[in-house]
Amino acid sequence: MPEYTPGYVAALAAALMQANTAALYAAEHGNNPLGRPVQGNPGLRIWNGDLLRLGHLPLTPFAVEANVLLQDGLYVDLAHHEHVHIDPELDQWVFCAAHADGAVPITIAVTQTRIDEDPAHHCNHSFPVTPPRGSIDQPGNCRNCGTTYTEARMAATHDEQAPEPQ
């Protein structure tokens, strides 16, 4: 294997860093940002219902931080590292290999709903209304707890009417 000069290695590292920096910037500030920012928590984002930060961070401290920020009824099941990029055909962020064009490293805290609590009564539902996950006429499932729009409406109607048990 040929030996590379320190200058070559530094130039290669700088080129890779520039590509990563551009991809990281696009993930937060581009035309199609990765998830949505969490208000009051710089760098923390929500994507597909899970919390994430750009870059590979130590898993346990990140899981603890994310767990503290979750609303009642949710908890961090696990944290792991992944890479994502914008799929040019779908124009959406998808998981990819670390060496893929435009790959962005992320650390994800996968969230779960506590079984001992009914999430429909503890969630401030957020139903997506943009394709492909929903529309104005037929919103998608809640980003936070996964409840369908119909289930949430039925639960709200049930709570308001409080029918007598039979």
| Beta strands 92-95 and 74-87, pairing class | antiparallel
Q: Residue 76: CB partners within 8 Å, gap ≥ 6?
A: 51, 63, 66, 67, 70, 109, 110, 111, 112
| pLDDT given at position 122 | 59
Three-state secondary-structure class, residue 44 = strand
Residues 7, 106: Cα–Cα separation, whole Å? 29
| pLDDT given at position 120 | 47
The phi and psi torsions of 50 (rounded to 5 degrees) equal -110, 155
Q: Along the 166 residues of the chain, how does pLDDT read in single tens digits?
A: 455 566 555 554 544 454 567 777 778 877 888 888 888 887 888 888 888 888 888 888 888 888 888 777 778 888 999 999 888 898 889 999 988 888 888 899 988 877 655 544 556 677 676 666 666 667 777 777 777 877 777 766 544 444 444 4
Three-state secondary-structure class, residue 3 = coil
Cβ–Cβ < 8 Å for 70, 111: yes
